[in-house]
Amino acid sequence: MANFKTHLNVAFMVSGTMSLMVYKAGLIDDSGFLMCVALGTIGGLLPDLDSDNSTPIKLGFNITSFIFAFGLVMHWRSELSLLALIALWLAGYGLMRYVVFSIFTNMTVHRGVIHSVPYMAIMGLGMTYVSYDILHLPLTASWFYGLFLFGGAMVHLALDELYSVNLSNMKMKRSSGTAMKFYQHKDKWWYLLLYVILALLVYFAPPFDEFWQQLRDPAPWAKLKLGLWPELIKNWLN
């Protein structure tokens, strides 16, 4: 499988290139461009959340633990003494970082159901829901955010599958087929649950027709084509 640095760099390059195209076409604004790059990069690390020793899961739990502990202190700051607040902060951090982290790692298996296409599709659609229904962001931006998160995850899975091929003698390694998967029989009940959730998310998804019409509109892509080459090169070509 590809390492953390490879996943990070490739996801950033792919999401950055695609985000720039969408931005230059006028489909997202400045903040939307930055969000798409960030979400595509995060998506490129997302499938490794089921790896006990991966950098993303350790970093994610460290940040979550700090936020959780900080939230506890802020909530009880006016009712507890300084020593009690320090004890509460340490207890909150320890609970998240060691207890919850241990439970999570024991319940998940690397390249299990998290490391699959339907799980990542749920994450992408979930991002669209949060953006549109909770944060009340524009429909087009919400769909792009979900698609970029999902697309980044697909880059991750594709890289893992590519690294499972021994290119020197074109043989498949034992890890082949364990990355970009849609189903695994030993986890059939988990996959059944995933597809039920995915079907519900698709059925109740934010309106897609309006977003699709914007993508099919030739005007943005014509604008992108006009701005493809620098003026110096266009003058030279003409």
Q: Could you give phi then psi for residue 171, rounded to 5 degrees? A: -110, 150
141: number of Cβ within 10 Å: 21
Closest to 142 measured CA to CA, from 210, 206, 221, 46: 206
Average pLDDT over residues 120-143: 90
pLDDT of residue 141: 92
- Write down the mean pLDDT value for the chain: 78
20-24, 50-54, 154-158, 195-199: lowest mean pLDDT where?
A: 50-54
Q: Is the pTM of this model over 0.75?
A: no
Domain encompassing residue 212: 4-50+115-228
pLDDT of residue 202: 92
Cα(86)–Cα(5) distance, integer angstroms: 36
Q: Would residue 94 count as lying in a domain?
A: no
Q: Would residue 55 count as lying in a domain?
A: no
103-112, 160-169, 216-225: lowest mean pLDDT where?
A: 103-112
Closest to 46 measured CA to CA, from 163, 179, 136, 178: 179
Closest to 96 measured CA to CA, from 122, 61, 72: 61
Closest to 146 measured CA to CA, from 120, 128, 122: 128
pLDDT of residue 151: 93
Average pLDDT over residues 56-77: 73
Q: How confident is the model at residue 109 (pLDDT cuts 50, 70, 90)?
A: low
pLDDT value at 224 more than 90: no
pLDDT digits (tens, 9 = 90+) for 133-192: 888 889 999 999 999 999 998 998 888 777 765 444 445 455 455 567 787 777 788 889
Q: How confident is the model at residue 44 (pLDDT cuts 50, 70, 90)?
A: confident
107-121, 165-179, 207-221: lowest mean pLDDT where?
A: 165-179
Give the count of domains, the chain: 1
Tokens standing for 28? 């997202």
Q: Would residue 174 count as lying in a domain?
A: yes
Cα(144)–Cα(26) distance, integer angstroms: 13
Comparing 51 with 176, the larger pLDDT belongs to 51
pLDDT of residue 143: 95
Q: Would residue 140 count as lying in a domain?
A: yes
Q: How confident is the model at residue 81 (pLDDT cuts 50, 70, 90)?
A: confident
Q: Would residue 186 count as lying in a domain?
A: yes
pLDDT value at 2 more than 70: no
Q: Would residue 93 count as lying in a domain?
A: no
Comparing 143 with 102, the larger pLDDT belongs to 143
Residues 6+ apart with CB under 8 A from 93: 65, 66, 68, 69
Q: Would residue 70 count as lying in a domain?
A: no
The backbone region for 170, taken as left when phi is positive above 0, alpha when psi lies in -120 to 50, beta otherwise, is left
Average pLDDT over residues 197-211: 91
User: Cβ distance 80 to 153 under 8 Å?
Assistant: no
Q: Would residue 233 count as lying in a domain?
A: no
